[in-house]
Amino acid sequence: MADLLETAAKAGQFKTLIEAIEAAGLTETLSAEGPFTILAPTDQAFSHLPDGELDRLKQNISELKQVLLYHVVFGDVRAEDLAQIREAPTVEGSIVVVEHSEGIKINDATVMKTDILTDNGVIHIIDTVLVPTILIPE
């Protein structure tokens, strides 16, 4: 089995996420033993960001790291675990809200696919880029 980043790279729908992880210098962190759970936005999810936002984040590595680590939860959190919790602390330090009304939602993102297992954790595919509240402009 491959690690989180190798698995995401093979999937082919996370090119933007992987480029952002590399730009933020998080490759080594997310290739470490873990386990980690990545709430992985697809390339299409990144395309829904406001024009220029991704480029802006790539120019501000500190904010880019915050956004990316907001998509990472400590531990091996599987679909059955998500179904039982209401929130989860992220590596970034904030908490994401887990809703169960129509499938599973993480904040405003719909979980499209769960439990892609890797050597150092699990990937859940989401349809929206999550942004920590501290970075949302007023």
38, part of any domain? yes
136, part of any domain? no
- Structural domain tally of the chain? 1
138, part of any domain? no
Predicted TM-score (pTM) of this structure: 0.93
Q: What CATH number does residue 8 fall under?
A: 2.30.180.10
35, part of any domain? yes
20, part of any domain? yes
137, part of any domain? no
111-127 burial, b for 16+ CB within 10 Å, e for fewer? beebebebebbbbbbbe
| Residue 88 domain boundaries | 4-131
Using only C-alpha atoms, the chain has a radius of gyration, in whole angstroms, of 14
Per-position pLDDT tens, the chain of length 138: 799 999 999 999 999 999 999 999 999 999 999 899 999 999 999 999 999 999 999 999 999 999 999 999 999 999 999 999 999 999 999 999 999 888 899 999 999 999 999 999 999 999 999 998 765 554
- Residue 25 tokens read as 């210098």
